A and B are shown apart, each in its own frame.
Chain A
Amino acid sequence: MVEIRFHGRGGQGAVTSAELTALAAIEEGKFAQAFPSFGPERRGAPVMAFVRVSEQQIRTREKIYEPNIVVVLDPSLLEIVNVEAGLREGGLVVLNTSKSAEELRRETGLKARLAIVDATKIALETMRLPITNTTMLGALLKASGIMPIDALRSPIQNRFGPIAEKNLAACLRAFDETNVEG
């Protein structure tokens, strides 16, 4: 079982990221759960969302305390949230950043293996919006290999309707441009 935690700010689509990941996994025939950090929604405030993906039926309802993967939608969160909290040994942090891995380590002290992509730039260029949820899903699937990138196609189409193609394009471009540390 893979456990994933998304960090974003209210309104950036972290909850949507978690939902789309679970829906894609379920469509692939896997088992999955997606749930928000339950509470009143506040635009701009740090929020979290969670996903479990498994080949077997998932029989737990506890929260996710020790994720295998953390996805950070907003680089400014690194200053106020310990995104590595509870991350498992050998875990992976997937980051939206315009910086290099070396710069990030120097500035933030991150220790985990990193996968980085300039998702804000991709989102702005592809969709003209700084909303990075679908973009970061491309990065997540590149870095984790939990399922093929095509699995996201139908969940994104169902969710976004007329703007699905742009979201898909951003997602695919992020998949190509994500740098994953060895």
Chain B
Amino acid sequence: MAKRIGMEVSIAAAEAVALADVDVIAAYPITPQTHIVEHLSELVANGHLDAEFIPVESEHSAMSCCVGSAAAGARTFTSTSSQGYALMSEICYIAAGLRLPIVMLTANRALSAPISIWNDHADMMMSRDTGWIQTVAENGQEVIDLVFHAFRVAEDQRVLLPVIVNLDGFILSHMIEPMILLDKEEVDRYLPPYRPKLRLDPKEPITMGPVGMPEVYTESKVAHDEALKASRAVITEAWKEFGDLFGRYYHPVETYKTEDAETILITMGSISETAMTAVDAMRADGRSVGLARIRLWRPFPTEELIAAVKGARTLAVMDRALTLNGVCGPVCAELKSALYDRDLHPYLQNYIVGLGGRDVTVQNFMEMSDGVVEAAERGAPMGYEIINVRE
């Protein structure tokens, strides 16, 4: 039976990885790392988890180990953050290009300089185009549920792509809160053993990762792009089955009080819960506001997001990362492109929030919601604004 636990989210995430019966964990155990791999190393060391824990000399080596391990057919996991993620990013592209079903938890944190260990989505956006499937958690419960989902989707023969579960560094990774953790029998019912059809085996040699001459490089990228597109159906199917089994249903885009909303806020990650509280307060005050939360970052849920927001007159899109001197932040850019393709023209403002650990409050959401309505009335040019900047 699943049990209700109180636990630091990082520790619970490690417990979930252990329940998924992972074979190999390769990680670099120093800042910016979290308790996720620390706890996994304890579980392996004390005999609770029968797996190889490989303490490597850098994050670059961590992902390199994962590539080797997954290519040999082992269920493989790692975890990282910010600068470490940057260092491993070279190999992240390779892991996805080789179609290796590695699962990684990323505690999202800002990138230097200045040095910061605090949360934002700069690292998630840096590796946006690595070709991994990327989901985003709002709370501890989602982190552990998305871990099981990640292995299930990654290893599905129709997918065979690595999956990142993003969780906000500190704000989620270091939070103690209640969660419901499945037991081993329940996890086994949801997640079958990994039986790779193709793997590196000296008895049946194959080649992985050869040179892609100009004659085949484009085609291999098309194949990767098609695979990511095709993963959508498996991602939602696996969420549906998770919900049918355990009662918690997940969707690529979650809506909250959007049905009749004139203004819709769009968020991703842990700020979504704070935004829900702001929506409740504004609704109680008679303001017509709703919220759309993006749970699936790659493949981007274009149709679901358009369906969620198309009835609104004004949109406030929150980005927790800055695209310095671009048109707008990365989440907003996706939405704007999608709206253009469909000839939809709601009034839209992009707010850059919560950089490098800056708090995002209920009051901030109410101000952004009122701000976009006011800007629309005044006909202000649509752009991006970084909020909470000290003068």
Contact = CB atoms under 8 A, between A and B. Distances in A.
Interface string B164-177: 00001011001111
A62 B274 contact: yes
B117 A40 contact: yes
Contacts, number: 63
Contacts of A62: 274, 359-362
B89 interface: no
A18 B384 CA distance: 38
B178 A32 contact: yes
Interface in A29-47: 31-36, 38-40
Contact of B359 (A22, A27, A32, A63): A63
A55 to B, nearest CB: 12
Nearest to B178: A26
B4 A26 contact: yes
The range of chain A's interface size is 20 to 34
A61 interface: yes
Contact of A31 (B178, B273, B276): B178
Contacts of A19: 8, 176
9 contacts: A18-B176, A22-B6, A26-B177, A31-B177, A32-B176, A35-B176, A36-B174, A38-B117, A62-B360
Contacts of A23: 6, 176
Nearest to A25: B6
A23 B4 CA distance: 11
A34 B118 CA distance: 17
B270 interface: yes
B289 interface: no
Contacts of A60: 273-274, 277, 362
- What's the dominant secondary structure at chain B's contact region? mixed
Interface in B1-60: 4-6, 8
Of the listed residues B117, B178, B359, the one surrounded by the most CB atoms of chain A closer than 10 A to its CB is: B178
Interface residues of B, number: 25
Contact of A59 (B5, B276, B357): B276
A25 B5 CA distance: 11
B271 interface: yes
Contacts of B357: 38
A59 B178 CA distance: 12
A144 B171 CA distance: 27
Contacts of B118: 38
Nearest to B168: A61
Contacts of B359: 62-63
- Sorted nearest first, the 4 A-B pairs with minimum C-beta distance are A26-B6, A34-B176, A62-B361, A38-B170
Contacts of B273: 59-61
A22 B176 CA distance: 7
Contacts of B5: 26
A38 B276 contact: no
Given A59-B273, A59-B274, A38 B176 contact: no
B282 to A, nearest CB: 14
Nearest to B179: A26
A35 B6 contact: no
B176 A33 contact: yes
Given A22-B6, A26-B4, A40-B117, A61 B178 contact: no
Nearest to B141: A57
A26 B177 CA distance: 8
Contacts of A40: 117
